[in-house]
């Protein structure tokens, strides 16, 4: 009698325990994002509880998420990339001149920009690998170099506007999609890039080697990892993603000399909120994306509360510290 | 006879040896500085009016130009030696400039109050940075980026333009001279000296190198690592306050954009690394940082002499930061990250 009553409760508590360990394994970025997004929904139900509203949110959040994926790879390898904000500015400024207000130039211009991205990434990677300059300094120098070149090329002010077909990537929607209604191009780009990066990062040797280098350079060298090659590829991917993110940002943001300012810091913060450890050895594609979504949700929340821009900065700073402290302290407890 | 020559020869080689030891003690960045100065001077001779070599005042100008960055870079060197970093110095400079000028309102009697107030603000910023890093375990890069955003928000919400003014007597800091030497240069060298004494001659300095080199080892050998790091952050914020006071005395009125416009956060980090302090901590010094700062001063003077386009100036600055650091990392056997 007693045994029969005990065993079901026992099973029940066992099942609960299993669910609990499963819940504990969920990275803290997801509950943080959910709390902020649900708050958004409570304050403005018409916008944030409708599919159209969520799609609009994803359109604004996707560029930062693309930047954050690239940055996460570099962070996981133990480096930094501070040049991506300048790359976004470069994309928008140089494209505005290359387009010469003619829609026919849009795709060639984007191809040229992607080429420039490869060159910037190569330079970053080669300088870090062969001249042994720490990536923080290399990419800081590259940030000045890229920004200065872009401003010099356009003469300090935007030349012309961005044509509609160029801007489509960041601004337009696929209309009449079943169930979802409208789906932004930006979201599709993000999904495609994240699937590719997820597979590369989690299922290939190269992906494992990024983490290995971030964890212990010497050990990976001794076990035959081509440290320099891995690093160079990582910087190239990061710079190319920054170009793509720049096209998406310019799409809805328009032409502006300060458009990319601070993006590098936001992308790094997104990675860290998503559980990346600065110094390398840890990283995850989906967590970095949700780190970026969390930051964007915070910005939207503060705008919704009607705070003037300066207070938004201050509260954003507080929340970034808070979120990172929370993520850091919870993952530490697990150890 | 032979013995006499032998001894004099011996003495000579001994003396040479001493000089050699002494030269070896000079941080290598100063040789790079001389190289940059000579190359700049020659370029100036060829392309412009050759003021750099002809006009002795220009030497003084190079140093005066470097005062604000030099003072912050001392603080930045301290935190970097402790394997930390401070990205909030630019806005700390801004808040100092606007708050001190706002409190002074041109009244000499209010100068002491203003100075005390901004140093308290600076100490508070340093404590927040230090506590977030050591107690909340937030990565220093993110923690100080966060405080930087917070200060930025507070300043921009309160001030949008030039605020208040400093009294004539306070301008002495920015423009006064003692004999032929500007007060600002004396303060720069005093700050560097204090930084050097702290690092090389005190227990705090020894502990800071320990914490930067290996925090766990330092902790196990009985160093209160958290306190040391919080202390370094307080000192760093204080140097930013001092730089802010210098800038406001030069500008005569505080403006909220003075810190970020000077890019004091990234520039102070760049000059520290150019000086030879490793970002990974545990190594470096403040005299070498001063060398890095002076290189920036020489370059800026050179660019002004040559009338370089401001955007190209940024391009060159980026390239030179990388080349300067590469000039000694290239021989390193370890992979960089």
Domain count, chain B: 1
Cross-chain residue pair A324–B142, CB shorter than 8 Å? yes
DSSP A176-224: EETTTEEEEHHHHHHHHHHHHHHHHHHHSHHHHHHHHHHH-HHHHHHTT
- Within a domain: residue A282? yes
- Within a domain: residue A279? yes
Q: Please, which residues 236-265 of chain A have a Cβ atom closer than 8 Å to chain B?
A: 265
Chain A residues close to B132, C-beta within 8 Å: 321, 325
Residue A224 backbone zone (phi > 0: left; psi -120 to 50: alpha; other: beta): left
Do the Cβ atoms of A144 and B321 come closer than 8 Å? yes
Pairing of strands B181-182, A173-177: unpaired
Do the Cβ atoms of B54 and B184 come closer than 8 Å? no
Given CB atoms, is A268 within the 8 Å cutoff of chain B? yes
In this prediction, residue A306 carries a pLDDT of 83
- Within a domain: residue B311? yes
In this prediction, residue A205 carries a pLDDT of 94
Cross-chain residue pair B141–A142, CB shorter than 8 Å? no
- Within a domain: residue B2? no
**Range of the structural domain that residue B189 is part of:** 29-326
Q: Is pLDDT of B233 > 90?
A: yes
DSSP designation for B163: B
In this prediction, residue A1 carries a pLDDT of 47
Q: Please, which residues 210-229 of chain A have a Cβ atom closer than 8 Å to chain B?
A: 213-214, 217, 221, 227-228
- Within a domain: residue B143? yes
Q: How many other C-beta atoms can be found within 10 angstroms of the C-beta atom of residue A278?
A: 17
Q: Model confidence over B243-256: pLDDT tens digits?
A: 999 999 999 888 99
Q: Which of B145, B309, B315 sits opposite A145 (nearest CB)?
A: B315
Q: What average pLDDT score do residues B37-48 get?
A: 89
Nearest-CA distance from A17 to chain B in Å?
A: 29
In this prediction, residue A335 carries a pLDDT of 37
DSSP designation for A277: P
* Per-residue buried b or exposed e for B124-145, using 16+ beta carbons within 10 Å of the residue's own CB: ebbebbbbbbbeeebbbbbbbb
Q: Model confidence over B273-305: pLDDT tens digits?
A: 999 898 888 989 999 999 999 999 999 999 988
Residues in contact with A146: Cβ distance below 8 Å, sequence separation at least 6, in sequence order: A83, A86, A87, A89, A90, A120, B318
Cross-chain residue pair A134–B311, CB shorter than 8 Å? no
Domain count, chain A: 1
Give this complex's ipTM.
0.84
Cross-chain residue pair A328–B335, CB shorter than 8 Å? no
- Within a domain: residue B16? no
- Within a domain: residue A133? yes
**Range of the structural domain that residue A81 is part of:** 32-46+57-334
Beta strands in chain B (DSSP E): 177-178, 181-182
Q: Please, which residues 46-105 of chain A have a Cβ atom closer than 8 Å to chain B?
A: 77-79
Is the pLDDT higher at B155 or at A180? B155
Size of interface A-B (CB pairs under 8 A): 170
pLDDT < 50 stretches in chain A: 1, 334-335
Is the pLDDT higher at B2 or at A7? A7
- Within a domain: residue A172? yes
Cross-chain residue pair B318–A316, CB shorter than 8 Å? no
In this prediction, residue A220 carries a pLDDT of 93
In this prediction, residue A310 carries a pLDDT of 79
Helix, strand counts (H, E) of chain B:
17, 2
In this prediction, residue B22 carries a pLDDT of 82
Q: What average pLDDT score do residues B183-199 get?
A: 96
Q: What average pLDDT score do residues B201-230 get?
A: 94
Q: Give the CATH number, domain containing residue A150.
A: 1.10.3470
In this prediction, residue B3 carries a pLDDT of 53
Q: Model confidence over A5-18: pLDDT tens digits?
A: 556 677 888 888 88
Task: Name the phi and psi angles at A296, rounded to 5.
Answer: -65, -40
Cross-chain residue pair B335–A217, CB shorter than 8 Å? yes
In this prediction, residue A334 carries a pLDDT of 43
Residues in contact with B42: Cβ distance below 8 Å, sequence separation at least 6, in sequence order: none
- Within a domain: residue A130? yes
Share of chain B above pLDDT 90, in %: 58
Q: Model confidence over A99-113: pLDDT tens digits?
A: 988 899 999 999 999
In this prediction, residue A4 carries a pLDDT of 53
Q: Which of B145, B330, B337 sits opposite A134 (nearest CB)?
A: B337
Q: What average pLDDT score do residues B117-138 get?
A: 95
Instruction: Tell me if residue A47 falls in helix, strand or coil.
Output: helix
DSSP designation for B254: B
* Nearest residue on chain B to A319, alpha-carbon basis: B146
Q: Give the CATH number, domain containing residue B180.
A: 1.10.3470
- When mean pLDDT is compared across A313-322, B4-13, B179-188, B300-309, the lowest value belongs to B4-13
Assigned token pair, A308: 């003037």
Task: Name the phi and psi angles at B166, rounded to 5.
Answer: -100, 145
- Within a domain: residue B134? yes
- Within a domain: residue A255? yes
């Amino acid at each position: 009698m007693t045994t029969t009553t005990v065993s079901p409760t026992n099973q029940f508590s066992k099942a609960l325990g299993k669910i609990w360990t499963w819940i504990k394994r969920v990275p803290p970025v997801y509950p943080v994002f959910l709390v902020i997004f649900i708050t958004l929904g409570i304050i403005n139900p018409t916008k944030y509880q409708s599919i159209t509203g969520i799609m609009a949110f994803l359109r604004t959040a996707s560029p930062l998420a693309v930047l954050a994926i690239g940055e996460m790879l570099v962070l996981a390898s133990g480096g930094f990339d501070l040049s991506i904000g300048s790359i976004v500015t470069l994309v928008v400024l140089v494209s505005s001149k290359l387009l010469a207000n003619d829609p026919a130039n849009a795709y060639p211009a984007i191809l040229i920009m992607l080429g420039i991205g490869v060159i910037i990434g190569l330079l970053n990677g080669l300088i870090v690998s062969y001249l042994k300059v720490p990536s923080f300094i290399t990419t800081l120098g590259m940030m000045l170099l890229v920004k200065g070149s872009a401003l010099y090329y356009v003469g300090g002010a935007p030349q012309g506007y961005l044509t509609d077909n160029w801007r489509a990537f960041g601004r337009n929607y696929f209309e009449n999609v079943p169930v979802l209604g409208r789906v932004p191009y930006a979201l599709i780009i993000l999904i495609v890039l994240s699937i590719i990066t997820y597979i590369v990062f989690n299922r290939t040797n190269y992906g494992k080697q990024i983490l290995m280098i971030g964890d212990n350079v010497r050990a990976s060298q001794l076990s035959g990892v081509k440290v320099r090659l891995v690093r160079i590829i990582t910087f190239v991917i990061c710079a190319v993603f920054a170009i793509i993110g720049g096209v998406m940002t310019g799409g809805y943001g328009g032409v502006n000399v300060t458009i990319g300012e601070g993006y590098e810091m936001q992308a790094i913060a997104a990675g860290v909120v998503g559980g990346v450890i600065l110094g390398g050895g840890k990283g995850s594609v989906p967590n970095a994306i949700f780190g970026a979504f969390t930051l964007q949700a915070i910005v939207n929340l503060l705008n919704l509360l009607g705070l003037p821009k300066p207070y938004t900065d201050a509260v954003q700073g507080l929340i970034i510290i808070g979120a990172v402290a929370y993520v850091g302290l919870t993952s530490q407890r697990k150890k | 006879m032979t013995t006499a020559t032998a001894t004099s020869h011996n003495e000579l080689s001994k003396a040479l040896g001493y000089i050699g030891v002494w030269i070896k003690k000079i941080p290598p960045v100063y040789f790079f500085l001389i190289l940059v100065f000579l190359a700049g001077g020659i370029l100036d001779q060829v392309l412009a009016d050759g003021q750099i070599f002809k006009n002795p005042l220009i030497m003084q100008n190079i140093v005066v130009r470097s005062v604000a960055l030099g003072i912050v870079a001392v603080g930045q060197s301290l935190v970097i030696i402790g394997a930390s970093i401070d990205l909030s110095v630019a806005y700390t400079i801004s808040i100092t400039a606007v708050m001190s000028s706002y409190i002074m309102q041109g009244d000499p009697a209010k100068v002491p109050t203003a100075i005390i107030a901004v140093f308290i603000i600076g100490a508070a910023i340093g404590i927040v940075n230090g506590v977030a890093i050591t107690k909340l375990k937030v990565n220093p890069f993110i923690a100080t980026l966060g405080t930087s955003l917070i200060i930025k928000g507070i300043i921009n919400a309160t001030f949008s333009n030039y605020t208040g003014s400093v009294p004539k007597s306070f301008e002495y800091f920015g423009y006064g001279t003692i004999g032929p030497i500007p007060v600002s240069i004396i303060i720069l060298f005093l700050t560097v000296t204090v930084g050097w004494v702290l690092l090389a001659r005190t227990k705090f300095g020894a502990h800071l190198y320990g914490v930067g080199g290996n925090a766990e080892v330092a902790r196990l050998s009985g160093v209160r690592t958290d306190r040391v790091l919080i202390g370094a952050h307080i000192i760093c914020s204080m140097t930013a306050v001092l730089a802010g006071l210098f800038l406001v005395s030069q500008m005569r009125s505080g403006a909220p954009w003075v810190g970020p416009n000077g890019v004091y956060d990234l520039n102070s980090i760049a000059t520290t690394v150019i000086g030879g302090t490793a970002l990974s901590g545990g190594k470096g010094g403040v005299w070498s940082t001063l060398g890095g700062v002076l290189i920036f001063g020489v370059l800026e003077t050179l660019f002004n002499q040559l009338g370089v386009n401001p955007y190209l100036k940024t391009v060159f600055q980026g390239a030179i930061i990388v080349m300067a650091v590469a000039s000694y990392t290239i021989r390193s056997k370890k992979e960089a990250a």
